[in-house]
Amino acid sequence: MASALDLLHLARTAATQAGAYLRSVERPADPRAWASKGRLDYVTEVDRTAEALIAEVLLAAEPGGRILGEELSPDAAAADVERGLVWVVDPLDGTTNFLHGYPQYAVSIAAAVDGVLQAGVVLHVPQDALFHAVRGGGAWLGAHRLEVSAIDDPAHALVGTGFPFKHLEQLEAYQRQFARVAAATAGMRRAGSAALDLADVAAGRFDAFWEQRLAPWDVAAGTLLVREAGGLVTDFAGHDLGIGHGPVLAGSPAMHAWLLGIVDERR
Give the model confidence (pLDDT) of 154-191 as tens digits.
999 999 999 887 767 778 989 999 999 999 999 999 99
pTM of the model: 0.93
Question: Exposure of 150 by Cβ count < 10 A (0-12 exposed, 13-18 middle, 19+ buried)?
Answer: exposed
**Residue ending a domain, choose from 123, 145, 167:** 145
**pLDDT mean over 192-215:** 97
The single-letter DSSP state of residue 204 is T
Query: In terms of domains, do 78 and 57 share one?
Result: yes
Domain that holds residue 133: 4-145
Q: What CATH number did the domain enclosing 194 receive? A: 3.40.190.80
Q: Is the pLDDT of residue 44 over 80?
A: no
Digit-coded pLDDT (tens) for 111-141: 999 999 999 999 999 999 999 999 999 999 9
Query: In terms of domains, do 43 and 116 share one?
Result: yes
- Contacts for 77 with CB less than 8 Å, ≥ 6 apart: none
Q: How far apart are CA 86 and CA 111, in angstroms?
A: 6
Q: How far apart are CA 159 and CA 85, in angstroms?
A: 33
Number of domains in the chain: 2
Query: In terms of domains, do 136 and 159 share one?
Result: no
Query: In terms of domains, do 105 and 125 share one?
Result: yes
Q: What CATH number did the domain enclosing 127 receive? A: 3.30.540.10
Sign of CA dihedral 114, 81, 164, 40: positive
Residue-averaged pLDDT of the chain: 90
| CA 48 vs CA 66, 72, 88, 193: distances in Å | 17, 7, 15, 18
Angle 80-220-125 (CA atoms, 0-180°, nearest 5)?
A: 125
- Contacts for 40 with CB less than 8 Å, ≥ 6 apart: 96, 165, 166
Q: How far apart are CA 85 and CA 7, in angstroms?
A: 10
pLDDT at 122: 98
**Residue ending a domain, choose from 92, 120, 145:** 145
The fraction of the chain above a pLDDT of 90, given in percent, is 75
Query: In terms of domains, do 138 and 60 share one?
Result: yes
The single-letter DSSP state of residue 192 is S
